[in-house]
Amino acid sequence: MKKIGVLTSGGDSPGMNAAIRAVVRKSIFHDMEVYGIYNGYQGLIDGNIKKMEIGSVGDIIQRGGTILYTARSDEFRTEEGREKAIAQLKKFGIEGLIVIGGDGSFRGAEKLTQKGYPCIGVPGTIDNDIPGTDFTIGFDTALNTVIEAIDKIRDTATSHERTYVVEVMGRHAGDLALWAGLADGAESILIPEHADDFEDVIERLKRGKDRGKKHSIIVLAEGVGSGMDFGQRIKDATNLETRVTVLGHTQRGGSPTAADRVLASRLGAKAVDLLLEGKAGRVVGIQNNKLVDHDILEILDEEHQVDFQMYELSKQLSI
Ligand code: ADP
């Protein structure tokens, strides 16, 4: 393989740039040409493609977002759209593709692989919801952003003796809420995988109040429901002074942590190695600190599992 392409797709995450850098530098190290495809699959369809040099990825390892931009492309979901994308790959002589993104992006990568264009998926999402890897690129940074915010909220919660509901990202996966809640000693954590816990939250708040506890932090993953509604329900049920903070897109940005930069560098380089070995339709990951790769279809069939032992532990530690 002499020419490969790299794109970022779906939701962005901090560390994607470090992954792009690793792909570009590792390819050039192995005497391959590497093309940056801008705006995800839509850019591939539109031919928004540029050859990358060593210097193209200088000074980006520490930056959030993605220098290749990202997009969602409905056109790529259609057979005609993908034919246009393949025509561009042919035009540029690109033989294989590295797709940095989430499971939606991997579905697109699988379709291209079936058409004879080997793709390797690199898991980049703050949700940590890709099976086959312990961590996805961006999760650690988002987690640190969340705990920094909650630490600050806790200060004012203590001063004013209030109950705070903090809504964090995670439509389907509770990892961010769970890890942040555990790292911050939250009184309750609500995750989509265990969404029926409202009564338990109220019970805990009442118990805390009886013990003289004057403030509480409740971390809620957005997939469970709206933080605003939840805050109102808590107020109605307990009469505690309750405030709600929705952290929103602050969680998706910022300079990646060391852990994310290292992970992104390792996974990006591994993806290049796989293409060089003639592999196709794989997703790279890290399990027990070892680099691994799995069949894309296997990853897409499986469902991400939240760590229920950790969930139970968080309850035991916040009695
Ligand atoms: P993420 O990769 O973060 O899960 P999306 O689910 O939005 O993000 O997917 C990103 C893009 O991947 C979509 O906009 C679309 O272009 C492509 N894609 C998603 N699912 C498919 C599919 N079944 N077939 C072809 N392309 C897909």
Q: What is the mean pLDDT of residues 112-135?
A: 98
Q: What is the mean pLDDT of residues 11-21?
A: 98
Contact yes or no for 7/100 (Cβ under 8 A): yes
What pLDDT, in 10s, does the model give residues 31-87? Answer: 999 999 999 999 999 999 999 999 999 999 999 999 999 999 999 999 999 999 999
Q: What is the mean pLDDT of residues 148-164?
A: 92
Q: What is the mean pLDDT of residues 99-112?
A: 98
- Per-residue confidence (pLDDT) for residue 161, from 0 to 100: 85
Residue 114: pLDDT band with limits 50, 70, 90: very high
DSSP letters, 29-41, are: HTT-EEEEETTHH
What pLDDT, in 10s, does the model give residues 240-272? Answer: 999 999 999 999 999 999 999 999 999 999 999
Centre of ligand 1 from the C-alpha of residue 109, in Å: 9
Q: Quick check: CB of 108 below 6 Å from ligand 1?
A: yes
Put the strands of the sheet holding 49-52 in their side by side order. Answer: 49-52, 33-37, 3-8, 96-101, 119-123, 282-287, 290-295
Q: What is the mean pLDDT of residues 276-305?
A: 97
Q: Quick check: CB of 102 below 6 Å from ligand 1?
A: yes
195, pLDDT greater than 80? no
Residue 209: pLDDT band with limits 50, 70, 90: confident
Q: Quick check: CB of 25 below 6 Å from ligand 1?
A: no
